[in-house]
Amino acid sequence: GNPRKMISPDSLLCRSQAPAQKRVYLAWEENAQLDLVMEFSSFSTKRFDQVKKKQIYEQILQVPYYVIFDPHAVYLNVFFLKNGHYQLLEAESDGRCVLTDLGIQIAIEEWNSLRLFDHQGLPIPTREEQQTQRAEQEALKAMQLAQQLHHQEQQAEAEKQKLLAEIAQLRRQLQP
């Protein structure tokens, strides 16, 4: 509850809680272990991220994974907690850091952006990509519905023409 002793990561993962967008995550109220903390570092925050925050996440909060990413200096440091101390996780030959316990991989991609991958190595869609996928799915559903309606309209028109032809034939038969 002491605002001077607060720490705010840029991003966090807590698997024991349902996904949510929270403006504030109060660890002592949530009563849940953080699984991963990410800091998007810069020249001005580098020392604080690499020393003070790292120490807090390691020794006090004991967060299993701590990620520091600087898109300007283009580096990615992934630390994992082992015997109470952070150790640097070495990247694979493809540049990805595998966070086995979490079932994810993390890497720097083009344009110096950070990318997450699932346990199979497939990209985890960003929020924007998810929105685009949903919009594409909705557009596809709308097109399919329009095609269905058009097909039904054609069937109704064919049925109408058939009935009109039958009526015309009955009229001809009824004429003397």
87-129 confidence digits (pLDDT tens): 999 999 999 999 999 999 999 987 788 999 999 999 999 889 9
Using a 10 angstrom Cβ sphere, with 0-12 exposed, 13-18 middle and 19 or more buried, the burial of residue 115 is middle
Q: What is the pTM of this model?
A: 0.73
In this structure, how many other beta carbons lie within 10 angstroms of the beta carbon of residue 82?
10
Q: Concatenated DSSP letters for 7-27? A: ---SEEE-TTS-----S---H
Phi, psi of 16 (to 5 degrees): -80, 0
Q: How confident is the model at residue 80 (pLDDT cuts 50, 70, 90)?
A: very high
The tens digit of pLDDT for each residue in 25-61 reads 776 677 778 999 999 999 999 999 999 999 999 998 9
- Asked if residue 68 has pLDDT above 70, the reply is yes
Cα–chain-centroid distance for residue 167? 61
